Each structure stands twice: as C-alpha cells, then as structure tokens.
Amino acid sequence: MLAACQSVTGPPAPVAAVTPTASIAALYLRPAERSLVEGIRLYEDAAFDRAETALHEALREGLADGRDQAAAYKYLAFVACAFDRLAECESNFESAFAADPGFALNERELGHPLWGPVYQRVAAAHAK
C-alpha cells in the first residue's frame, strides 16, 4: 500500500518550442499595423470607403509580416468584390498570395457568394 503513495519520477516532459510573439500593444505602436487593425475594424463596421483607405495606408506604411500584408489584401479584395470590381478583387487576392504563399480563406469566407468564386479561381491558379 505504501508503494502506491510513492511518486514516480522520470524524465521531465519536453517543453514545446515557443516562438516569441510581439506584444499587441507594441505592434499597435507601429503605424502600419495600427492602420491594419483600424482597417479591419472599419470593414467590420461596414465603413467600407474608410476601411479601404486604412488598408491601403497600412500597405504603404510597410506592414512587416507577409501574413499581415495578405490580410490587408484579403479585406481589400472583399470590398472590391462587394462593389462588383471583380478585376480589382482578383488582383488583391493575387497580391495576398504573393505576400503569403500559405494564404487561405476560412470556410465561412470561402463560401461567400461574391468573393468565394474569385478566390477559388486565384487559389487554383496558385496550386498549379
């Protein structure tokens, strides 16, 4: 019975490699990243003209991470598709793939009737 109370010790469990991340507060101090956050917020608030301006500004100001650049282009594509500017929509999706080769829409975004088909066309071209 006492044996059951003994603790079993062995090698410590491996610690997963942790990739350091930047603080959101620190990123928000960067003009480009702040413009990206603002652009996404404006998009979600349906202020599409202002969202486009902020997203273009984020790209001009030099977003450091390709995934952030792809996100800016994604939202620009959404706005362009929503306003029937299909060539611009496609171009923005192309730019998103150029910025981040792993760029992908989530399931909800992929099923959208306006930009889903445009994205699928561009994604298929990149898969070749």
52's tokens: 């486009």
- What is the amino acid identity at position 1? M
The predicted pLDDT at position 127 comes to 87
In angstroms, the CA 58 to CA 25 distance is 17
CATH number for the domain including 118? 1.25.40
* In the predicted structure, residue 114 carries a pLDDT above the cut 50: yes
In a domain, 114, yes or no: yes
The number of distinct structural domains making up the chain is 1
In a domain, 18, yes or no: no
In angstroms, the CA 73 to CA 65 distance is 13
In a domain, 57, yes or no: yes
Q: Which domain holds residue 94?
A: 28-127
Mean pLDDT of the 86-95 span:
98
Cβ atoms of 41 and 47 closer than 8 Å: no
Mean pLDDT of the 91-96 span:
98
In a domain, 11, yes or no: no
* In the predicted structure, residue 4 carries a pLDDT above the cut 60: no
In angstroms, the CA 2 to CA 37 distance is 59
pLDDT tens profile 6-49 = 444 444 444 445 455 666 666 667 899 999 999 999 999 999 99
pTM of structure: 0.80
pLDDT tens profile 55-82 = 999 999 999 999 999 999 999 999 999 9
